[in-house]
Structure 1
Amino acid sequence: MSREFDIVVYGATGFVGELTAQHLADRAPAGTKIALAGRSETKLAAVRRRLGPAAREWPLIVADSESPSSLDAMCERTQVVCTTVGPYLRYGENLVIAAATAGTDYVDLTGEVPFVRYSIDKADEIATATGARIVHSCGFDSIPSDLGAYLLHRTIAEDGAGEMTDTTMVVTSLRGGVSGGTVDSMRVIAELAKDTEMRHLIMNPQALSGDAGETPRAGINSEPSDMSPVDAKKVDPSLRGTLAPFFMASYNTRVVRRSNFLLDGAYGDGFRYQETMSVGGVRGVSAALAGVVTVGIGGFLGAMSFAPTRKVMDMVLPKPGTGPSEKSRETGNFATQTFTTTTSGRRYRSQMRAHGDPGYKATAVMLGQSALALALDRDRLPDRKGVLTPAVAMGDALIDRLQTAGFVVEAHELK
């Protein structure tokens, strides 16, 4: 593919957009052709100045989510468009169609089930025909989840140890702030959930496991609950106490199940997946804390869907385009462990951990490295096109890049 740019960062004037551009300025190989895009050339120029000498010559592109022609023109100039402009249900539909039509690879940070479903239904066939890879959720949602399950599958297959069965991700460490963009996406989802059909889609555990126009009908109990505490020993004998539900499980689990769908069920006929969060190993204390987390998640979602309480919460929640101080971003961290037992009875664990606020610094690294993998590692990528997941689109190439960027990403058998 001969294009003017390798990567265009769209939304570079936003908080996470600038962090992603900064990561590329610091870590992209010399000669990588990068441009910055957004609605205001003046603001883009200010961002470019802050990025330092490596970005001094990066071109600026004016493009607007409400101007499809400007998005078409932008996509036609680049191999990869890397977008942080959300909520994607509000601002992303035109861009995903533009990228698919132009045969341009695409990465974003969405955590919105209805948007990915829209993308599958409207862009998958176009992207498959043009050769585009449309890859959603390339940040903290949902790379640790998706690569954790994928790496288990790959390791188990190499060992000839059978297939995966019940699989659980446990967030063992999480220090950082909630992104203003994530909160804004929750506002949009809460509003959509008032519609019965949309609510059924959001609650469907297999909402993303289908081709264009084919959403599988799956009961809410066909997979583990996204909102229930879990006995840690049932996840793995090495664990203690009670695990709380992870607040992004209702999205991340759908992405992991889509990866299994796209890989033709390679994870196993008995593969079932859930996500949890560690709240300590003391049984009574952890059970109480897990209950508090469960009630808190439910209460938060309920408050977001009720206009009067949402207005009060909007006064204290972070605003879109804002974020924590550099010191806070640097002192954050996350760690996840994903456990499974195979059909042969062998136990495995994968893990991912990194320094940096998971919703900001670490996400900027994950998104930036995803864009670099699509742009520069094309000979290593799986031969798959259409609306994909990080694991299916980039797999080992992305794992290698994250490891080089300082992430710990590994899997092994437990004895």
Structure 2
Amino acid sequence: MTTKAATKGSERPFDIVVFGATGFTGKLTAEYLVQCAHSKKIKLAIAGRNSGKLEACKQDLMALNSKADIGTIEANSDDYTSLVKMAAQAKVVITTVGPYLKYGEPLVRACVEAGTHYVDLTGEPEFVEGLEHDYHDQAAAKHIKIINCCGFDSIPHDLGALYTVHELNKLIGKERSGKAPMKVEGFIEAKGTFSGGTWHSAITQFSRLKEYQKKRREWHKNKKTRPTDRRRTRVMGPKVFWLSAHKAWACPFPTIDPQVVKRTAAARKEFGPDFIYGHYVLVKKLPKLIGGVVGAGGLVALSQFKYSREKLLQVKDPGQGPSESTRKKSWFKVHFVGEADGLHVWTEVAGGDPGYGETAKMLAESALCLALDKNLPEEYGVTTPGAGMGLALIERLNAAGITFRTL
């Protein structure tokens, strides 16, 4: 079903705008869009604050596809008027400009004002929950979708859980489909380098844990945050255990992914009346697991102090990334085990470089889904990839080389 925003968007000069296209991940996203199978169907613009860099980026993109229809838009996170003007020219805005807690909210506000769909690749819980609190009702009233977490955080996990639930419902039959309590566990293994933007976002979020918890108490007290009790959804408690099938230790993975899966489960009937999700990373050797836990605790502690936090932020530049040869050697797999009515299904989501290449692909395909696909779920407002795009995005990603399969 075409949304009201998409109908209005047909009169707009661009289908998709990539804000932050002169940065590393933003440029990868734009490169994907000018070379993908749907490049002839879209009018693309790249946006940023530096006109010289934008023009250089445009020339690089034209070298990849001389027939690409590419515009340029000057916009700055500190200039709200420029953000509204940018959003009003597109059906969908992609942003790679983070940390989102620092730079993200004005663009979301601009997209809501302009009636424009929005996607990002944040993994910052405070930012996402704040948007849900502040902008969900306004966005839903305009029939637009504000969809966060459209990169490695959290598409493989969110859509992987959705895919697994669909496979479970096939297994248990039509009479029990969507009626049985379900449990899904996801196990991540990967080789790759996380992005500088992810590093900066993580350190920023770690430094604000106390403020975030204070905000959460206020949000839940006044009950403005969207309820996740349309059905009973839970995340499994932390535990470490040996997973013999993969000959590895399974350790709880403290990311935004379980929160995203939980929101999708609350929004979609096929997850059943009672859904529980477990989220783990696979580690082959116990010393490495212990080192990872200690290291994560150290980062949280160091991020609480201004001096050490600034030193940590200098470790990675948010606008830089690894070489193409390094990215080609990177990969990820998320293994899922689903259970309902005593029956089990094993599924897998797999792809290449999670931190950059596949994240850019997921982000671009999410925007293409919102710009081009007509039969999307009627779920509007501040929502998730699984709730707002669902099976249509799974089909797109499968076609693009990120595989969803039943083992």
Task: Say if 2:377 is the partner of 1:361.
Answer: no
Identical residues among aligned pairs (%): 35
Question: Equivalents in 2 of 1:290, 1:229: separation in Å?
Answer: 10
Q: Which residue of 2 aligns with 1:80?
A: 92
Q: Which residue of 1 aligns with 2:316?
A: 318
Q: Which residue of 1 aligns with 2:193?
A: 177
Which residue, out of 140, 159, 180, partners 2:152?
140
Question: Equivalents in 2 of 1:384, 1:211: separation in Å?
Answer: 20
Q: Which residue of 2 aligns with 1:261?
A: 266
Question: Equivalents in 1 of 2:296, 2:142: separation in Å?
Answer: 41
Which residue, out of 346, 351, 374, partners 1:349?
346
Judge conservation of contact 1:164–1:270 (CA < 8 Å) in 2: yes
**Residues 149, 31 of structure 1: CA spacing in aligned structure 2 closer, same or farther, 3 A cutoff?**
closer
Amino acid at match of 2:185: T
Question: Equivalents in 1 of 2:275, 2:54: separation in Å?
Answer: 46
Q: Which residue of 1 aligns with 2:367?
A: 371
Q: Which residue of 2 aligns with 1:188?
A: 204
TM-score normalised by structure 2 residue count: 0.87
RMSD: 2.4
Q: Which residue of 2 aligns with 1:153?
A: 165
Alignment of 1:156-305 (within 5 A): 156-160=168-172, 162=176, 163=180, 165-172=182-189, 174-195=190-211, 198-199=212-213, 212-213=224-225, 223-225=235-237, 228-232=239-243, 238-246=245-253, 249-263=254-268, 266-280=270-284, 286-305=285-304
**Residues 57, 150 of structure 1: CA spacing in aligned structure 2 closer, same or farther, 3 A cutoff?**
closer
**Residues 164, 9 of structure 1: CA spacing in aligned structure 2 closer, same or farther, 3 A cutoff?**
farther
Farther-moved stretch of structure 1 (298-307 vs 366-375): 298-307
**Residues 138, 160 of structure 1: CA spacing in aligned structure 2 closer, same or farther, 3 A cutoff?**
same
Q: Residue 106 of structure 1: SS of its match in structure 2?
A: strand
**Residues 229, 295 of structure 1: CA spacing in aligned structure 2 closer, same or farther, 3 A cutoff?**
farther
Alignment of 1:47-66 (within 5 A): 47-53=57-63, 54=65, 57-66=69-78
Q: Deviations over 1:185-238 (max 9, x none)?
A: 12221222243xx23667x9xx99x98435779xxxx74345x423426xxxx4
Judge conservation of contact 2:264–2:386 (CA < 8 Å) in 1: yes
Judge conservation of contact 1:7–1:33 (CA < 8 Å) in 2: yes
Amino acid at match of 2:201: S
Q: Which residue of 2 aligns with 1:283?
A: none
Instruction: State the Cα distance separating 1:312 from its structure 2 match.
Output: 3.9
Amino acid at match of 2:291: V
Amino acid at match of 1:232: L
Where structure 2 has 5 or more consecutive residues not aligned to the other structure, the ranges are 1-6
Judge conservation of contact 1:125–1:212 (CA < 8 Å) in 2: no
Q: Which residue of 2 aligns with 1:399?
A: 394
Judge conservation of contact 2:203–2:299 (CA < 8 Å) in 1: no
Q: Residue 305 of structure 1: SS of its match in structure 2?
A: coil
Question: Equivalents in 2 of 1:388, 1:187: separation in Å?
Answer: 25
Amino acid at match of 1:38: G
Instruction: State the Cα distance separating 1:60 from its structure 2 match.
Output: 0.5
Question: Equivalents in 2 of 1:303, 1:80: separation in Å?
Answer: 38
Amino acid at match of 1:5: F
Question: Equivalents in 1 of 2:55, 2:32: separation in Å?
Answer: 17
